[in-house]
Amino acid sequence: MTEAAGQFITPVTMQALSQRPVYGSQWDARADNNMLHINLSREADACLIAPASADFMAKLAQGRADDLLSLLCLARPRQTVPLLLAPAMNREMWSHPATQRNMAQLRADGATVLGVGQGDQACGETGDGRMLEPQELLDDLVAFFQPKSLMGQQVLITAGPTYEAIDPVRGITNLSSGKMGFAIARAAREAGAEVTLVAGPVSLATPRGVRRVDVRSARDMQAAVAQQVDAATVFIACAAVADWRPAVAADQKIKKDGSGQAPELDFVENPDILAAVAQSARALSRALYCVGFAAESQDLLANAQAKRTRKGVPLLVGNIGPATFGQDDNALLLVDEAGALELPHNSKLALARQLIANIARRIRAGGQNDGH
């Protein structure tokens, strides 16, 4: 902790909350060799300064080392201990040319400057400059250490269910929670890709750094994908899109009439988003790697193989829908023309990272969107 940090929360409080020793002085006698700035930096996997004040970033940009924290940052082995900064300051301080100049210098020196939040500030003003929330910092730190296997790729992902209206208060949907697709979006972003997520009606939080487009029906999803797909190099169709929709949605709520007879509903088939995207990419000879999903209730391998051929995509990911909808874990079956690879039961995020790594290897190997 810096001296300024000790004005906001005492070292005793920080130590009690963290159950970790707290250091604040380069003259701390607990170090046998009196070289805390060396010892602490050699033990670290990374240095994350949170919050990083305007003053402390200026100090780092100038190479000053007049307290333990700045000493530690300057003395750390730069090739093995990365420096990450989470700025926090008043909006005017954040936008000041000196602060922006210091940030540019820090980046040039190899530091990673994370973003800032926007909103109410301690001074009573509102704007950019808030420190990111702790969970956001943790997500960014975890993402920092993930292999950047999709760097330079533009990934478009669909996730969640669709909702097909019967009348203004009723509709047809399914049990998909969207968790697998959201996990894939996070994993793709961690792998360095620019990610756009087209999400059906779910209440999940948007993964850090992911651009989100909310939709409702299958036709809404089709339109959103059509708007985004031209910029994509990878398309992952994870959404559980309804196969059918009512031919006509009633303008008003359909009420019981006391006859005991249910109303007759005519259905029409929804568009096949994945097949259409894959077919268009082949026709235009576009370098778009397409991945489909199959949520089955039985005969997973056979159904997934048939669906992969029918959709005309190089990779089809299968799972047993009733066993995973709404859950935080899953098991996946990756099916291509050569056979199948099972990804055993694990958390959806762990599986998403495995899937993204697998897709990245296929892209590097020159996989095309022709089923081969």
Catalytic residues: 123
For residue 126, which amino acid is it? T
CA atoms of 342 and 333, how far apart (whole Å)? 5
DSSP string, 241-252: --SEEESS--SS
CA atoms of 15 and 17, how far apart (whole Å)? 5
330: which residues sit within 8 A by CB, 6+ positions away? 180, 319, 324, 345, 346, 348, 351
Q: Calculate the dihedral angle through the C-alpha atoms of 297, 279, 181, 221, rounding to the nearest 10 degrees.
A: -100
Helix (H) / strand (E) containing 330: strand 329-336
Q: Calculate the dihedral angle through the C-alpha atoms of 63, 65, 71, 74, rounding to the nearest 10 degrees.
A: 10
Helix (H) / strand (E) containing 113: strand 112-113
Residue 371 backbone zone (phi > 0: left; psi -120 to 50: alpha; other: beta):
left
- Specify the pairing of strand 244-246 against strand 267-269: antiparallel
Residue 263: strand, helix, or coil = coil
Main-chain dihedrals φ then ψ at residue 214, nearest 5 degrees = -90, 135
294 closest CA partner among 280, 308, 281: 308
What's 205's DSSP letter? Answer: P
Length of the chain equals: 372
